[in-house]
Amino acid sequence: MTVELSRGTLGHGYTVVTPANHYPSRLPELGDQPVVKLVTPRMAPSRIGEYLVSLSAGGGTVRTVEAGFETFVYGLDGTTVLLADGAEHPLGPGAFAYVPESTAYDLRAGATAGRVLVVKRRYEGHPGHDAPAAISGHRDDEPFAETAVPGFTRRELLPVGDPAWDFNMSLLRFAPGVGLDKIEVHDEEHGLYMTEGGGTYMLGSEAHQVADGDFIYMAPYCPQGFTAGPGGPAEYLLYKDVWRDGFSAPVD
């Protein structure tokens, strides 16, 4: 038997999970539809679950309501639809929806199979701020914004200036050879999904080659830096917890 080298890694304060590493699981609310658990709170200290859900043509989820949990869904392939509070949100590639805490939702694939990324976390409120309401949209609804680094642009999918929100979802896009301007070390954790291209991710003190479809979990204080490869633009969808001081009680 030949053993192939894998880019998938469990490092100190991070994981890298590549498409070649995927080993699908099942969840009751997904019936017989496979799910890849990219990270869950079992991977301490993660406070999120991030899941790659594949729905076969005509397939869907069994409706559940989980008290206290909020959900973000991003469309990757196909024509999945999210149903919540009597509204239907098409989740084709690049479309997204935020489902507020304790709100029931269903996912339904259309005539073709669909793939979506699901981020789940316990909503952490803040005194004086009402919990956010539902939001949906598409990555193309607004242009990417310039940053201080030429060739590096961002598109914020959720309101970043409102402390009612306890997380951001952002698309970060880099021209070939362009990267972050520093090695960051910060209290917030990340779930990162490569949506296009690839490059070199510095995690702790290790350099990892990453490509389209790879997932990285970065724990609080994980040193992190990125430079896109020379072959084309690179882009990732980034979860980051925001606007909280880090004292929320760990979930058992």
Task: Name which of ligand UGY, Mn ion, none residue 172 binds, using a CB cut-off of 5 to 8 Å depending on partner kind.
Answer: ligand UGY
What are the residues binding Mn ion (CB under 5 A)?
184
Neighbouring CB atoms inside 10 A of 151's CB total 15
Query: With contacts defined by CB under 6 A, how many residues of the chain interact with ligand UGY?
Result: 7
- Taking residues 125 to 164 in sequence order and writing x for each that binds ligand UGY by CB under 6 A, - otherwise, the string is ----------------------------------------
Site string for ligand UGY, 189-208 (x = CB under 6 A): -x------------------
Query: With respect to Mn ion, which residue has the nearer C-beta, 60 or 199?
Result: 199
Q: Which partner, Mn ion, ligand UGY, none, binds residue 228 by CB below 5 to 8 Å per kind?
A: none
Closest to Mn ion by CB, 63 or 186: 186
- First CA to last CA distance, the chain: 41
Picked from ligand UGY, Mn ion, none, the partner binding residue 244 (CB below 5 to 8 A depending on kind) is none
Binder of ligand UGY out of 49, 173, 224, 239 (CB under 6 A): 224
Which residues make up the interface to ligand UGY (CB under 6 A)? 172, 180, 184, 190, 224, 238, 240
